[in-house]
Every structure is written in structure tokens, then in C-alpha cells.
Structure 1
Amino acid sequence: MDLVRYAERAADLVNADLEPTEAVDAYLADRRWLADQVTDKDARLLRRFQKELRPIFDQRARDAEVVDLLNSLLGKHPVTPYIAGDDADSWHLHVSNKASTVADLLVAEALMGLATLACDLGPGRFGECQASRCDAVFVDTSPNQSRRYCSERCSSRANVAAYRARQKALAREDAD
């Protein structure tokens, strides 16, 4: 079980467009076995859960607030893990039981990933992209907790915009 990946998928879930129900299939493109099981109810629950998760990534939230939000969501969406496998060499942990719906599984993965990351690296590892006109969220697993953008694309765009602004200011100074 890769809990960092689950935390990153939680950010992907917040960033995903899940309207209409078929859009959930696109979000689950790398997990076809789940996409084939998605119902309208799963899609509705996931859209609601997206809204519940977003405040965890709010840059203004203090560590204690993030922990309180996670604990509240863990209480609201209990996780039902189980051990799977055939013998001691193949036993592994799943975050939800076999009877779980797709929404239950994705919610459990997201919460366990975020909660574990908050405990291991600190709750300050969740953030919002600092690029203008971008509202995407991300999980910061960098060694020095320095991530500011959701992607290389946003980082490059922001750096180019800052460079052009500096060049424009220099040109104005030279003209004066």
C-alpha cells in the first residue's frame, strides 16, 4: 500500500472534473477495473467529497486545523481495512473491504494517504498552486517543503511571467 500515492491521488481527486458521471471514468483511466464499476451514486458522493477535501489544502489553514479537518472526515467516512493474500508471503493491507463501493474505496485511500502523510511529514505538506489563474491543489513531498506550484507547467508559466515583469520594469527605468 503506497500511502504517499494515495495522498497524491487525493489531490488529483480535488483537481478532477467529475461532472458528468462519465468524467469519473477519465479520472480512473489508470484503474479500469474501478472505472467499470462506477455508478451515478459513486459520482455524486465523490463530487461531495471533493468539496470536503479542498479545505485541507488551504494555504491559510494552520496545522491543527488541517488535523481537525482530517479527523472530522475520518469520523464521517470510517475506513474498513482488511488483510488480503493467500499466505504470509503475499499478505497485504487494503484500505477498504471487498463490499466497498468505488466511492468508499477512493475516499478511504484519500483519507488514509493524507492522514499518514500528515503524521509522517506534517500537515503543512498540502497546498494550493500559487500560479495566477490556477486553483489546483498538490501534495508537497519535497525534502525541504518548498513546493509552490501544482505542476512544472504552472511553475514555468509563473517564472516566465515574473521574468517578463522584471524586464518590463527595467525597460521603464531605462526610459525614465
Structure 2
Amino acid sequence: MVEAWRITGQAEIDSYVGSRVELAVQLINSLATPHAHGRGVTPPPPGADRLAAVVAAQERLTVHPPASVLTPADADRLAGIAARLRPLFAAGDHLLDAAAGLNDLLVRHHAVPNLHGSPANPLGLSFHRPDADPVDAWAADMGTALAMVIGVGQSARLGACQAERCSLVFYDTTRNASRRFCDLSCQNRAKASAYRARRRA
């Protein structure tokens, strides 16, 4: 089985980077998306509901970030970070502006390559300092991972659903970066809508 972050024939994105991009996708879709699958959605309100959404988003990942005790205030900060990361997906002609915002986020959350480890655990590369609080750590890791995807010329893989009234984002791991929809249900909705339009014409 080919891991989700390996892109055949393209510059390779390693597991750590791929997992942090997926974390960004989950947080954006949970906390900063106004439409999903043809319906308007209301992001979770601040407090316990928003924290529950963050925990649920984390549980949907195949590779989890380091265990952290998050608070409702942390979840509120992560919602703001998700909103700031969202413009990087399907940025198109606005990529330079989106990248400027990403650079600001990297500085604000003290992103820095750092080897973490202990006598009992092997050293591993992270993008945050060992003493970073959980929100800064997640923001630095997600931001750097997205910067690495963009930096190797793969920004087209940061996509947004093209179905009507769906603004969910995704990380495209197809061979030729041809994905256009968040999932099969939106793809089928778009096909049905196009078919009806042709019939009317």
C-alpha cells in the first residue's frame, strides 16, 4: 500500500509533512468552512463545542500529532489559525498573497527546525521548539508543512472542492494532481447538476 503522503513521480513529501498537512485540512474543515456538501454549516461556537471539534478532527488522522492537553482557549486559537491557513488551498493567482500570510504565521508561532528526542526515544525532526505550547507547536508544524508542499512546486495539491456550495479543502495525492472534489458525494452532485444543465439546454 502506498502511504497517502507519497506522490508517485513527484517530489516526495515525507510522512511528517503529509500528516501535518492533513491536520491542517481537518482543522480547516471542522472550524473554518461555511459550506459542506451543498449545505451551509455553522462552525462550532467557542468553548467546549469548539474543543470537541478539534479533538474529533485529531482523531480522524492516521498519524496523530504529539499528545497534548488542549483547553477551550487553545481551540479558539486553533480556529483562528485554521482561518489563516485556509487561503493557501486553491490559492491560484493569489498564492503570493497567501504565502505572505503564511510567512507571517511562521514567524508569529516561532517555527524552527528542531530535533526532538530523549534517551528512550530516537531523535525526530519537528518544526517547533521543545518548549512550545501546544497551539504554537501545531501552528508551526502545519505552517511549515504547507510551506514545504508549496516550496517544492506542489501548491496545486492543496485543493478546495469545486462542487456547488461546498468549500471543504483537501490534500490531493493523486498521481497528476487531478482531484477536483472533496469526496465522491460532491463529485456525484456536480455530475448530476451538469447533466441537468445539459438537459435544460
TM-score bucket of the superposed structures, by smaller chain: 0.7 to 0.9
Matched, 1:124 2:156: yes
Query: CA–CA distance in 1 between the matches of 2:20 and 2:65?
Result: 17
Which deviates further from its counterpart, 137-146 or 59-68? 59-68
Task: List aligned pairs for 1:106-117, cutoff 5 A.
Answer: 106-117=138-149
Query: CA–CA distance in 2 between the matches of 1:113 and 1:58?
Result: 16
Q: Give deviations 1:80-103, integer Å, cap 9, x for gaps.
A: 44213357x932212223322221
Q: Give deviations 1:22-80, integer Å, cap 9, x for gaps.
A: 32221222549736x01122111101112211222254543323332322221222214
Query: Unaligned stretches of 5+ in structure 1?
Result: none
TM normalised by structure 2 equals 0.70
Task: List aligned pairs for 1:13-162, cutoff 5 A.
Answer: 13-17=27-31, 19=45, 20=49, 21-30=51-60, 31=64, 34=67, 37-86=69-118, 90-162=122-194
| Bigger-Rg structure (1/2) | 1
Query: CA–CA distance in 2 between the matches of 1:5 and 1:33?
Result: 12
Shift of 1:117: 0.4
Query: Unaligned stretches of 5+ in structure 2?
Result: 1-14, 32-43
Which deviates further from its counterpart, 113-122 or 51-60? 51-60
Query: CA–CA distance in 1 between the matches of 2:151 and 2:92?
Result: 19
3-state DSSP of counterpart to 2:67: helix
**Could you tell me which amino acid in structure 2 is paired with residue 85 of structure 1?**
G
Shift of 1:156: 2.3
Q: Verify the 8 A CA contact 2:26 2:58 in the aligned structure 1.
A: no
CA-atom RMSD in angstroms: 2.7
Q: Verify the 8 A CA contact 1:10 1:110 in the aligned structure 2.
A: yes
In structure 2, do the counterparts of structure 1 residues 49 and 61 end up closer, same or farther at CA, with 3 Å as the change threshold? Answer: farther
TM normalised by structure 1 equals 0.78
Q: Give % identity.
A: 31
Shift of 1:109: 1.9
Query: CA–CA distance in 2 between the matches of 1:33 and 1:4?
Result: 15
3-state DSSP of counterpart to 1:150: coil
Q: Verify the 8 A CA contact 1:8 1:139 in the aligned structure 2.
A: yes
**Could you tell me which amino acid in structure 1 is paired with residue 16 of structure 2?**
D
In structure 2, do the counterparts of structure 1 residues 127 and 105 end up closer, same or farther at CA, with 3 Å as the change threshold? Answer: same
